Amino acid sequence: MLMDSAAGGNDAGAPRAQVPGGEGEPHSPYRDARLGSTDKELKAGATDEGSAPGALGSPRQRTPRVKVMDPARAPQNQLPRPCLVLVLLNPRGGKGKALQLFRSHVQPLLAQADVSFRLLLTERRNHARELVRTEELGRWDALVVMSGDGVMHEVVNGLMERPDWETAIRKPLCSLPAGSGNALAASLNHYAGYEQVTNEDLLNNCTLLLCRRQLAPMNLLSLRMLSGLRVFSVLSLAWGFIADVDIESEKFRRLGERRFTVGTLLRLVALRVYRGRLAYLPVEQGVSAVPAPPPLDPQDRQGPVDAHLVPLEEPVPAHWTVVPEQDFVLVLVQLHSHLGSEMLVAPMGHGGAGAMHLFYVRAGVSRAALLRLFLAMEKGRHMECNCPYLVYVPVVAFRLEPKDGKGVFAVDGEMMVSEAVQGQVHPDYVWMVSGRGDPSPSLEPQWPPPSRKPQQQAPPPEVSL
């Protein structure tokens, strides 16, 4: 499903704008999915100012193929002006209102900021992953994901599965929150110096970041499973309490972010422990340690070399720290500041290039103490609770080996079977639309956008590709 727009206007940068008021199926050819389908919303009679469906929705009989991205188009520190972006929107994410929010909150600001777009609605799990595998990336200045964190996870892994992954992963990405968790968007909002907000306010702030066009590199986490699977994460890996809450609260998706509150309370009532062994490479050791020799497995050519990792069948290197096998309540590996739009789990920041946050809570913590930790986490004050069961370490690599088969992994909010896993952070590997920079206040879009008389509006130009 798609719509197109070409819009013009001004840049943005206001620190706080006043706003009124998923992924797992078989691959389908992208050309057919993109150009052979019809927007159900438009079919029902709805239209968008600045959109030009029509000709662009007509099917083309052509075999899908991958057009290799030109390395010369690697990003600088800012998107061009004007720019053209591909928006991947999940209409079922969060409360199911993403498309309406795009029309009411995002599109008017893009119209002022000279950002043209093609809007594509994902239709099933892993649809976005399939699409970016074969998309001709050179046509777009950025890929914009309007959903929760799961679709961004799909996009990054789809880019890393391309034959030109080394250049494809450098295509700038933008996160617009329209899911339940919105942790990545909340983190980018935090880095930009905005106050912690949710819902439409967070969406508005992130849209302003896109209008400002500033880019910054972000870390990428490479995960390797005992089964041989390799996955890339842009946010986190959770095991135990947090993963259970994330996955089990899916049934309350219509509650939006409140689903996590409900899930937390339910899991506290039936608190579990999880047997496992943990090891990690602290930041200070990772800087001074000599990396292991690059693996020779041809499969490892798809993606960066994890120089700090050895095969899971072997013991971790001697300079790693090993936590004795024990019962845990939770283990969390986190790349960014937020685990949700109201969960400032890493108030110490994003950890810097090549570093990530490791938290774990040992068994023995009381339900009351655990509840206090999560309540304090809203403002990032849980580290001040001085809970003796909570441990925090900045790391560059880790290994986690579940021993009793309990629990699941949640990787960027997506469920994975728990098995032995290890991971290494790769510094400054993904380019994201960010709040870094100092744009001119005179170029900020206004909210609400200035009203225009209908008879004075010229029809928007059609994007022909």
Determine phi and psi for 20, rounding to 5 degrees. Answer: -65, 145
Phi and psi at residue 423, in whole multiples of 5°?
Answer: -150, 155
Tokens read off for 234: 């842009």
Is 327 part of the annotated catalytic residue set? no
The Cα–Cα gap between 310 and 315 comes to 8
Q: How many CA atoms lie within 13 A of 30 on its CB side?
A: 18
Strand partners, 332: 238, 359
Closest Cα partner for 266 from 284, 280, 247, 282?
247
The catalytic position among 11, 48, 114, 149 is 149
Q: Nearest CA to 362 among 380, 332, 388, 383?
A: 388
Quote the distance between the C-alpha of residue 144 and its chain's center. 11
Taking the chain, what is the end-to-end CA distance rounded to the nearest angstrom? 16
Kindly list the catalytic residues: 149
